[in-house]
């Protein structure tokens, strides 16, 4: 295998209550990337379409991951990378994670698949360092594993795959503004009241239970974020109105996707998801703010060959 094309899905991190610990992959939104073996034992990023990203492989998440893996494996070849971004960096939908995880998956395939999914997450986390300054695992883990994931521990890294109900749908509105992950993280206080922390832990447990049992009422009741949303929502225009309209349209719950500005809502079934989209549209259509809306099932496959 000397030339492959892959799809790396967009991801939603935090999932309201699971700050830095939970994420899931989308099914039909993501980037495409092409990887070719080269005789030169180095990494070259020859094409980037859809976004202004660095071509320097030492500054690009995909390039950093590829270089680390080639060095670690003592590969006798290099890699040429083409990146086709299908959603905007700074969207809150794991753009850098898609690049990093996609690179880890593809280079592993070119190497003959010597690394496990857990290994690939560790490599991809270094791409996140290059992109946003933190070795965060949630988005890249969801991108590689697919479906829902829980980052149970960082030291040692322990990732748990979580099932999801077949009728669970997600609607996402993406205002076309950019919020940098580094900036969004600074908004959250480092210290939390014990009462807040306890409530957040309980909601995480409830959400995981609801996903395992396909209990939509428990999922809905658990989609409460007391840690990040109260501070981050200020940077998302009309967030409170969006939340009210989505719930009134039948959403199980709504939350900020990662750092924002994208906002996601869960629904039970396709028809309900369409009604939620109408609710989202009703808030944003007259604001003068450009936006995109996506509907998706949960992406249970993660990164995959095309």
Tens of pLDDT, residue by residue, the chain (306 residues): 799 999 999 999 999 999 999 999 999 999 999 999 999 999 999 999 999 999 999 999 999 999 999 999 999 999 999 999 999 888 889 999 999 999 999 999 999 999 999 999 999 999 999 988 889 999 999 999 999 999 999 999 999 999 999 999 999 999 998 887 777 888 888 899 999 999 999 999 999 999 999 999 999 999 999 999 999 999 999 999 999 999 999 999 999 999 889 999 999 999 999 999 999 999 999 999 999 999 999 999 999 999
Pick from 160, 40, 57, 38: nearest CA to 103:
57
- What residues are labeled active site? 128, 181
**Does residue 16 sit in the same domain as residue 152?**
yes
**Does residue 209 sit in the same domain as residue 194?**
yes
Residue 246 lies inside a defined structural domain of this protein: yes
Q: Are 223 and 216 in contact (CB under 8 A)?
A: no
Residue 42, CB half-sphere, CA atoms under 13 Å: how many? 7
Residue 306 lies inside a defined structural domain of this protein: no
**Does residue 210 sit in the same domain as residue 153?**
no
Query: For 262, left (φ over 0), alpha (ψ -120 to 50), or beta?
Result: beta
Domain count, the chain: 2
- Reported pTM: 0.94
Q: Are 132 and 90 in contact (CB under 8 A)?
A: no
**Does residue 183 sit in the same domain as residue 46?**
no
**Does residue 151 sit in the same domain as residue 205?**
no
Residue 304 lies inside a defined structural domain of this protein: no
What domain range includes position 292?
A: 168-297
């Amino acid at each position: 295998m000397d030339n492959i094309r892959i799809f790396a899905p967009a991801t939603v991190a935090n999932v309201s209550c699971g700050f830095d610990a939970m994420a899931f992959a989308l099914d039909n939104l993501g980037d495409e990337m092409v990887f070719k073996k080269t005789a030169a034992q180095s990494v070259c990023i020859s094409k980037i379409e859809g976004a202004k990203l660095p071509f320097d492989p030492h500054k690009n998440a995909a390039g950093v991951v590829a270089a680390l893996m080639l060095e670690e494996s003592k590969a006798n070849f290099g890699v040429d990378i083409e990146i086709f971004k299908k959603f905007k960096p700074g969207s809150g939908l794991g753009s850098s994670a898609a690049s990093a995880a996609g690179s880890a998956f593809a280079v592993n395939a070119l190497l003959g698949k010597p690394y496990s999914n857990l290994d690939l997450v560790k490599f991809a986390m270094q791409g996140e360092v290059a992109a946003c300054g933190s070795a965060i695992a949630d988005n890249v883990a969801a991108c590689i594993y697919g479906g829902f994931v829980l980052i149970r521990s960082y030291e040692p890294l322990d990732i748990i795959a979580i099932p999801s109900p077949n009728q669970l749908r997600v609607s996402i509105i993406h205002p076309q503004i950019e919020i940098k992950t580094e900036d969004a993280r600074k908004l959250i206080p480092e210290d939390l009241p014990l009462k807040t922390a306890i409530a957040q832990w309980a909601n995480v447990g409830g959400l995981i239970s609801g996903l395992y049992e396909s209990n939509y009422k428990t999922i809905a009741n658990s989609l409460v974020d007391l840690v990040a949303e109260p501070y981050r929502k200020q940077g998302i225009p009309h967030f409170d109105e969006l939340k009210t309209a989505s719930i009134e349209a039948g959403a199980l719950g709504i939350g900020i996707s990662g750092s924002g500005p994208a906002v996601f809502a869960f629904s039970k079934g396709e028809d309900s998801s369409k009604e939620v989209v109408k609710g989202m549209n009703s808030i944003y259509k007259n604001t003068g703010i450009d936006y995109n809306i996506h509907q998706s099932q949960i992406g249970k496959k993660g990164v995959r060959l095309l």
